[in-house]
Amino acid sequence: MKKDKHDCDLQSCMLCKLCIPAWKPAIAAHRKSFTLKKGQMLFREGEPVNGIYFVNAGKVKVHKHWGEEKELIVRFAEEGDIVGHRGVGSEMVYPVSATALETVDLCFIDLAFFQATLKVNHEFLHALMMFYASELQESEKNMRNLVHMPVKGRIAHALLILQKKFGTNGDGYINMTLSRQDLASYTGTTYETAFRIMSELIQEDIIAISGKSIVVKDPARLALLEADAG
């Protein structure tokens, strides 16, 4: 991780949008800007929490150990998102790891300043509480899907979620590159199974793939696969 010469604009991230105007000089004084290259880690599962990260540009995967030598991707973060908040609690260790999927610019604020921010900025505190609640609901839904939903339904659900979160580019492709292994880790399956299901979806003309880019050609049929499996 190297220090970023390009500071954030104090406008884009969740904290800057919701803090009181008088608090922005304090953010400017306490933040640290960094750049990560693809594959570099922000923090590792089990490490002590030392602060919170806000993504200014790029995409990050948040993942944890799942069985022997396997990982489960629990969420993806992009510009404007917060990362590292899952470690704030009674144990104060990161229960997950975070890794850059591409070049990522981010801001870091240490734990003491983050806690001070919560005491002063009530709108940010309320938004953070709602964010935690939403994440908890999504985590519970994902756990239910892992237990009850067949793999094809989970992959259909994942592709629809990714398209909704990241949008599409001018050619209709989901606006992120996703390896088969990351798709497998996000849906709780093996690389081989993910590859087979994706091949079936291509043959059924529901999706198309170019390298690591995916386009959903028939979202209605994909949604039907998700609904039938739910």
How many CA within 13 A on the CB side of residue 33?
A: 14
pLDDT digits (tens, 9 = 90+) for 1-48: 555 544 566 676 788 888 999 999 999 899 999 899 999 999 999 999
Of 9-13, 65-69, 70-74, 76-80, minimum mean pLDDT range: 9-13
* Cβ neighbour number for residue 195 with a 10 Å cutoff: 15
Whether pTM exceeds 0.95:
no
Q: Is 46 helix (H, G, I), strand (E, B) or coil?
A: coil
Q: How long is the chain?
A: 230
pLDDT digits (tens, 9 = 90+) for 161-198: 999 999 999 989 999 988 999 999 999 999 999 999 99
The alpha carbon of 132 is separated from its chain's Cα centroid by a whole number of angstroms, namely 14
Residues 6+ apart with CB under 8 A from 222: 156, 159, 160, 201, 206, 207, 216
Q: Is 66 helix (H, G, I), strand (E, B) or coil?
A: coil
Q: What is the DSSP letter of 170?
A: T
Please give the structure tokens belonging to residue 20: 């009181």
User: Are 205 and 218 in contact, with CB atoms under 8 Å apart?
Assistant: yes
- pLDDT above 80 (res 228): no
CA distance 105 to 112: 22
By C-alpha distance, which of 1, 16, 209, 23 is closest to 104?
Answer: 1
CA distance 218 to 223: 9
CA distance 114 to 119: 9
Please give the structure tokens belonging to residue 163: 């398209």
The alpha carbon of 85 is separated from its chain's Cα centroid by a whole number of angstroms, namely 12
92 versus 202: which is more confidently predicted?
202
